[in-house]
Amino acid sequence: MLPTLDDLHLQCRIDTDEEDALLLMYLAAAKEKAENYLNRSLSDSEKKTQNATQLVITPLIKQALILAVGFWYDTRELKRIPPGFYEILNDYRIYPMRGKDVSRRID
């Protein structure tokens, strides 16, 4: 499951909802960054997972997303990704085959 605004408020130590739009923007960016790194799309639930490349968001993946949001909130930069983000996601990554065109299939 994607992190909730409550999760993000807790991580960023925010008591109001004034910056919710900013947090949601950071969350969308973190999810996109994770999907690009993993070479997989992320899903909120098993019911939405339709193929082998989709991945249900586990507690560890959720933590990576929260880590990125908290880091960007503190630094106010989207240039870098926080230390630990990739290490958390490594176990779930699909590595592309080098030198192979996997988009075409020859029968």
28 CA to centre of own chain: 8
pTM of the shown model: 0.83
106 CA to centre of own chain: 34
Residue 9, amino acid: H
Domains of the chain: 5-92 (1.10.3230)
pLDDT at 47: 66
Q: CA-to-CA distance for 4 and 73, rounded, in angstroms?
A: 15
Using one digit for the tens of pLDDT, what is the confidence trace for 30-66? 999 999 999 999 998 766 656 777 899 999 999 999 9
